[in-house]
Amino acid sequence: MRTETPPLIRLEDYRPSAFLIDRVDLDIRLDPHATRITADLALRPNPDGDPAAPLHLDGDDLILVAIDLDGAALPAEDFAAGPGGLTLHRPPRRPFTLRLVTQVDPTANTKLMGLYRTDGVYCTQCEADGFRRITYFLDRPDVMAVYTTRIEARRDEAPVLLGNGNPVESGPVGTDRHYAVWHDPHPKPAYLFAVVGGRLGKVETSFRTMEGRDVTCAVYVEPGKEDRAGYALDAVVRSMEWDERAFGRPYDLDVFNVVAVAAFNMGAMENKGLNIFNDKYVLAAPETATDADYAAIEAIIAHEYFHNWSGNRVTCRDWFQLCLKEGLTVFRDQEFSSDMRSRPVHRIGEVRSLRARQFPEDAGPLKHPVRPTAYAEINNFYTATVYDKGAEIVRMLKTLIGAEAFRAGMDRYFAENDGRAATVEDFLAAFAAVTGRDLSAFARWYERPGTPRLTAEGRYDPAARRYTLKLAQTLPVEGPPLVIPVALGLVGAGGPLTGVTCPALDGGVFVLDRPGAELVFEGVAEEPVPSLLRDFSAPVRLDLALSDDHRLRLLARDSDPFNRWQAAQDVALSLILAFDPVRADAFAQALGTFLDGEALADPAFAALVLALPTEGEAADALARDVDPDAIHAARRSLRARLGRVLRARLEGIDAALAPATEGAYSPDAASAGRRSLRNAALDLIAAGDPEAGAALATRRLSCATNMTDRLAALATLAQIPGEAREEALAAFGERFAAEPLVLDKWFAIQATIPEPETLDRIERLTRHPAFSMTNPNRVRALVASFAMANPTQFARADGAGFALVGRFVRALDPANPQVAARLLTAFGSWRRYEKTRRAAASEMLNGIKGVPGLSRDVADILGRTLQ
């Protein structure tokens, strides 16, 4: 019995539900193995639905205990029920109520979808289709109901009982039980439902909204860890303030709760009034969390909070519209972080992650449109394309119509769709209405998979003082052109050229909505270097042949920080792909001048300039016959050379930043920037002189006062084989033996050591007492880090790296298909390897294909990867 390719659900087949559910009254009796759920559903036929259809309720792994219709037991011949669904053959064609009693086992729920337990805490995850693992339901986002939830549990087991909406009442039940009732007045789809029960500590504060509502905001964590929840709570308040200021969106309940749990399949979830988080994105103290952790906590708290409007008040009609809430909400959280931190530095980070995750996805077999048209398993579409390319589309829209019209369009979108389940068309219609523009060509961004290529070629005519720039777009799949906003300018030897005219430009942006165009600039006094795609104005690949000198002029002189950074990246990438010592030294000289001039003025930016393109980016640029060993060696020698040439300057930076970074820790962006530059300097010194680097890193480890510096030193040391490394790793492991989130960093550092012994190391670490196959964070730290961030060992020519990941996919699949499927996406670029590795990957993938009983999640990824 082989796993077949799972059937597809198609956008074109969307039909309104035959029935609607207006009210849901739940009574949940929490029990470790036999939780009983009584659901009273107020149903009615949908006037827009099929009047003759039976009523089919979704179910997954459910036991039906009882079923009543309007208070009377339903005769057996009137319905059919199984673990996977419930059908009423002859449902009433008028409003009616169904009472369903179901039973579930939260302790046995290893999929972490529906109701489960983690470290003794009951919690839920219902997106995308987990509510059907709690009760039978019309589990689709266009069915929106008002929920009242009564939760009952043993008081000692679950002293805290939380639900969606506002608390209504609570009290004792007998001697050792208690209950709480929650009511959520805002109609919502079932995927936003949540309950939590457990022993939890909390920190709280209050916030008064622009409408004068007093909101109690609380963050719940494992008791004893309250002192690590303060940063997340502060981020909640800043998010609330920001959404009022930036988008005019106030909060709409009396309480806003965030709960951190240990085992969670993803980052976090925006359940109405009750966000549930992976504890990695809540808990932070200077001794355990890095600057990057603080930034991620701030961003994800904001993301989930912003969903309250972009996702909850306005939700999605169906799962094909996922980008409607995710792309928009990522855009909103990016804007928030940019306002909280350095905007250019944040933008560079966004683009790095887009290129690292979304570009390869869009170039391989798992590519899909930002709005997919078909899926077998929706949980496999929470992708970089939907989220991050989805956010880029919103950003382009804002660039095209301008900030004011964008805000007006957002206001209109929220006003027109509040309380509705909307589509991408509804979103674009709001902007079309406020601008009077036809956005139908722009809408192609949602439909076309693949990364477009923008080619540019310039010609300077000194006699006419004229510069001509030819732009053209090439799309990976044939079809009408996309609307590409290209922000651009011309840079002369002394900086951006002034007195230049180009009528085709509007506010520094040219909109390329044709296959090609020619821009003419007049009054150009010297041969310019074009600075294209400033601030990364569109998610495309840019082909522009420039000399190193011209690129380095952009690094030195451009007014756009993104393109300054990009210029250094471009030179570095070409040196990784084809090394040349003369060019490398010229590059080092330019970096040196840059560092002398401004490293200490903007350390975070300088650290990014020093961070060369990753091996993954180099592989992505090669696109075929990738040999990760060759890329690794090339990048390493470039870094070694830069480290040697820049040694004195790097030591100068290290010394200059010592006083500021060794004082008391603060997670703010400026302090984090100083640490990142100092640690980048350390890493580059070590690349040039491993012996000196190891000594310096060891010293840094012994005096580090925060996790950022400690981990950076350990990561540097981990790249240098020897005693010092092994001792440091062992000491770190012992020191943080009781800190799972810190051990995750330790697992990941070891899993990404680019040496053949890493495979044995990983096998050894799977037997470490802190490792666990049932906690997704542990698996991601040890195995996904290896698969996604250790290119030479994952893609070993002997296939041993692929085989290791394949074994984990198989072992995980029966227990947690979502995590198994996500791990398998590491093979998304397998066809790009040279032929030995390609053959090894193919063998491994086909081996999994033969495994009987694969989950739909894994079968879907596998089928598409091999196709």
Pick from Zn ion, ligand ARG, none: which does 215 bind, CB < 5 to 8 A by kind? none
> Within 10 A of 621 (CB to CB), how many other CB atoms are there?
17
For 763, the token pair is 């096998």
Distance (Å, whole) CA 306 – CA 312: 9
Beta strands in 728-769 (DSSP E): none
For 224, the token pair is 């004893």
Q: Which residues pair with 276 in a beta bridge?
A: 259, 269
Cβ proximity to ligand ARG, 127 vs 361, nearer residue: 127
Smallest distance, Å, CB 200 to ligand ARG?
Answer: 21
Contact letters for Zn ion, residues 315-354 (x by CB under 5 A) = -----------x--x-------------------------
164 touching ligand ARG, by CB under 6 A: no
- 570-629 residues in contact with ligand ARG (CB under 6 A) are none
795 touching ligand ARG, by CB under 6 A: no
Residues in Cβ contact with 306 at an 8 Å cutoff, skipping those fewer than 6 apart: 239, 243, 249, 329, 332, 333, 336
Q: Is 304 annotated in the active site?
A: yes
Cβ proximity to ligand ARG, 421 vs 556, nearer residue: 421
The one catalytic residue among 152, 222, 304, 392: 304
Smallest distance, Å, CB 323 to ligand ARG?
Answer: 11
- 312-371 residues in contact with ligand ARG (CB under 6 A) are 326
Pick from Zn ion, ligand ARG, none: which does 379 bind, CB < 5 to 8 A by kind? ligand ARG
Smallest distance, Å, CB 784 to ligand ARG?
Answer: 15
Residues in Cβ contact with 438 at an 8 Å cutoff, skipping those fewer than 6 apart: 432
By CB under 5 A, the count of residues binding Zn ion is 2
Q: Which one of 38-46, 93-101, 160-168, 262-270 is the stretch in contact with ligand ARG (CB under 6 A)?
A: 262-270
Contact letters for ligand ARG, residues 78-117 (x by CB under 6 A) = ----------------------------------------
For 497, the token pair is 């050229």
Residue showing tokens 């530095």: 345
Pick from ligand ARG, Zn ion, none: which does 266 bind, CB < 5 to 8 A by kind? ligand ARG
Q: Which helix (H) or strand (E) holds 640?
A: helix 628-645
Closest residue by beta carbon to ligand ARG: 382
- 192-231 residues in contact with ligand ARG (CB under 6 A) are none
Beta strands in 582-683 (DSSP E): none
- 841-860 residues in contact with ligand ARG (CB under 6 A) are none
CB 173 within 8 A of CB 179: yes
The terminus-to-terminus CA distance of the chain in angstroms comes to 20
Q: Which of 25, 31, 127, 620 binds ligand ARG (CB under 6 A)?
A: 127
* SS3 readout for 45-97: ECCCCCCCCCEEEECCCCEEEEEEECCEECCHHHEEEECCEEEECCCCCCCEE
Cβ proximity to ligand ARG, 127 vs 570, nearer residue: 127
Cβ proximity to ligand ARG, 43 vs 393, nearer residue: 393
60 touching ligand ARG, by CB under 6 A: no
382 touching ligand ARG, by CB under 6 A: yes
Distance (Å, whole) CA 350 – CA 327: 13
Smallest distance, Å, CB 684 to ligand ARG?
Answer: 35
128 touching ligand ARG, by CB under 6 A: yes
Pick from ligand ARG, Zn ion, none: which does 127 bind, CB < 5 to 8 A by kind? ligand ARG
Q: Return left, alpha or beta for 23; rule: phi > 0 is left, psi -120 to 50 is alpha, else beta.
A: beta
Q: Which of 200, 217, 269, 812 binds ligand ARG (CB under 6 A)?
A: 269
Smallest distance, Å, CB 424 to Zn ion?
Answer: 16
| Cis before 128 (ω within 30) | yes
379 touching ligand ARG, by CB under 6 A: yes
Handedness of CA 201, 190, 152, 251 (dihedral sign): positive
Distance (Å, whole) CA 272 – CA 186: 9
Q: Which one of 30-38, 141-149, 266-274, 753-761 is the stretch in contact with ligand ARG (CB under 6 A)?
A: 266-274
Cβ proximity to ligand ARG, 269 vs 638, nearer residue: 269
Cβ proximity to ligand ARG, 243 vs 326, nearer residue: 326
CB 724 within 8 A of CB 686: no
CB 810 within 8 A of CB 297: no
Q: Return left, alpha or beta for 210; rule: phi > 0 is left, psi -120 to 50 is alpha, else beta.
A: alpha
CB 188 within 8 A of CB 313: no
Pick from ligand ARG, Zn ion, none: which does 382 bind, CB < 5 to 8 A by kind? ligand ARG
Cβ proximity to ligand ARG, 181 vs 194, nearer residue: 194
552 touching ligand ARG, by CB under 6 A: no
Helices (H) and strands (E) in the chain, counts: 29, 32
Smallest distance, Å, CB 269 to ligand ARG?
Answer: 5
Angle in degrees, CA 383, 377, 420, rounded to 5: 75
Smallest distance, Å, CB 245 to ligand ARG?
Answer: 22
Q: Which of 24, 30, 190, 266 binds ligand ARG (CB under 6 A)?
A: 266
Pick from ligand ARG, Zn ion, none: which does 128 bind, CB < 5 to 8 A by kind? ligand ARG
Cβ proximity to ligand ARG, 303 vs 551, nearer residue: 303
Q: Which residues of 419-430 are buried (b: 16+ CB within 10 A; e: fewer)?
A: eebbbbebbbbb
Q: Which one of 136-144, 206-214, 268-276, 469-477 is the stretch in contact with ligand ARG (CB under 6 A)?
A: 268-276
Q: Which one of 205-213, 222-230, 265-273, 424-432 is the stretch in contact with ligand ARG (CB under 6 A)?
A: 265-273
Nearest to 576 by CA among 521, 641, 513: 641
Distance (Å, whole) CA 567 – CA 551: 5
By CB under 6 A, the count of residues binding ligand ARG is 11
Cβ proximity to Zn ion, 394 vs 590, nearer residue: 394
Smallest distance, Å, CB 361 to Zn ion?
Answer: 17
- 230-249 residues in contact with ligand ARG (CB under 6 A) are none
Cβ proximity to ligand ARG, 294 vs 382, nearer residue: 382
Q: Which of 304, 361, 558, 615 binds ligand ARG (CB under 6 A)?
A: 304
Q: Which one of 264-272, 282-290, 759-767, 855-863 is the stretch in contact with ligand ARG (CB under 6 A)?
A: 264-272
Q: Which of 270, 377, 615, 617 binds ligand ARG (CB under 6 A)?
A: 270
Q: Which residues of 197-223 are buried (b: 16+ CB within 10 A; e: fewer)?
A: bbebebbeeebebeeeeebebbbbbbe
Cβ proximity to Zn ion, 323 vs 376, nearer residue: 323
Q: Which one of 263-271, 477-485, 488-496, 755-763 is the stretch in contact with ligand ARG (CB under 6 A)?
A: 263-271
Sequence-ordered alpha helix ranges (H) in 266-358: 291-306, 322-340, 343-353
Residues in Cβ contact with 424 at an 8 Å cutoff, skipping those fewer than 6 apart: 321, 323, 324, 371, 443, 446
Q: Which helix (H) or strand (E) holds 495?
A: strand 495-496
Cβ proximity to ligand ARG, 303 vs 641, nearer residue: 303
> Within 10 A of 502 (CB to CB), how many other CB atoms are there?
19
Nearest to 622 by CA among 555, 578, 577, 654: 577
Cβ proximity to Zn ion, 122 vs 331, nearer residue: 331
Angle in degrees, CA 199, 204, 209, rounded to 5: 135
Binding site for Zn ion (CB under 5 A): 326, 329
Binding site for ligand ARG (CB under 6 A): 127-128, 266, 268-270, 303-304, 326, 379, 382
- Active-site annotation, residues: 304
